Structure 1
C-alpha cells in the first residue's frame, strides 16, 4: 500500500467516524475548500445534487442532528490515486436506530464513491456520491438494477 493510499484511507475512515460521532467540526476539516472554478459536491442516497461547501456541510449538519444512531462497516474498499486526485469506492453497510425512544434498528447498503484531492493541508474530500443497493425479499442484491 502506498503512502498516499494509506493517507486517503485514513481520511476516509475519519469521514465515516465523523458521521457516526455527529462531529461536524471534524466533518468540516475533512471537506476541501471551494475553488474559483470548482466546488465540492455531494449526493446523499435519494437526494438531489448538492454543490458548494456551505450547502454540503449544511446537509451533514441536518443529517447529524436527526440521526440518533448510525454505524458504518465498510467493505469492498478500493482506492486509485491519479496524481493529486484519488477515487475511493466502497460499500457502506449501515445500521441505524429508529426514532428516539424506539428500540428498532434498520440495516441497508449504499455503494459510495469518494473523490479526494491533495491540498496544502493533505488529502481532502471533494465529492461524495452514495447510491442505495436495492434488495429483494430474501435480502439479496437485485442484479441488473439501475439506480438513479
Structure 2
C-alpha cells in the first residue's frame, strides 16, 4: 500500500471515529473548506444532497447530538488516488442504539463513497455519500420453504 493510500485510509478512520465519539471539532478539521470550484457535499442515507461546508457540518452536529451510541465496522475498503483527489469506498456495518439505557440496538449496512482532496493543509474530506443496503429477511424464506 502506498503512503498516500495509507494516509487516506487513516483520515477515513478518523472520520468514523469522530462520528462515534460525537467529536464535532475533529469532524470540522476533517472536512475541506469550500473554495473556488470546490464545495463540500454530503448525502446521508435517506437525506437530500447537502451542499456547502456549513450545511454539511450542521448535519453532523444534528446527527451527533441525537445519536447516543453508534459504532462502525468498515469492510470492503478500496482506495483510488488520482492526482489531488482520492476516492475511498467501503461498507459501513453499523450498530446503533436509540436509547442506551434500554440497550435496544439496531444494526444496518450502508455503502459509502468518501472523496478526499489534497489541500495546502493536507488531505481533507470533500464529499461523503452513504446509501443504505437493503437487508434480505432470511427468516421469511425459511418459513416459506417449510410450508
Same fold flag (TM > 0.5): yes
Cross-structure match for 2:116: 116
Work out the number of aligned pairs and report it.
139
Mapped contact 2:69–2:100 kept (Cα < 8 A): no
Q: Tell me, yes or no, if the aligned pair for 2:75 and 2:91 is still in contact at 8 Å.
A: yes
Residue in structure 2 matched with residue 11 of structure 1 by the alignment: 11
Query: Once superposed, what is the RMSD of the aligned Cα atoms?
Result: 1.0
Alignment partner of 1:102: what SS? coil
Segments of structure 1 that go 5 or more residues without pairing to the other structure are 140-148
Runs of 4+ off more than 4 Å:
none
Per-residue CA distance 1:67-112 (angstroms, 9 max, x = gap): 0000000000000000000000000000001225322100000000
> Are positions 1:102 and 2:102 aligned together?
yes
Deviation at 1:3, TM superposition (A): 0.9
What is the distance in 1 between the residues matched to 2:112 and 2:69?
20
Residue in structure 1 matched with residue 81 of structure 2 by the alignment = 81
- Greater share of helix residues, 1 or 2? 2
Please list, as runs of the form range in 1=range in 2, the aligned pairs for 1:1-148 lying within 5 A after superposition: 1-138=1-138
Distance 2:127 2:38 in 1: 11
Distance of 2:88 and 2:33 partners within structure 1: 19
Distance 2:37 2:121 in 1: 20
The structure that has the greater radius of gyration is: 2
Per-residue Cα deviation, 1:23-71 (whole angstroms, up to 9, x for no partner): 0000000000001232100000000000000000000000000000000
Q: Distance in 2 between matches of 1:67 and 1:123?
A: 27
CA distance in 1, matches of 2:71, 2:101: 18
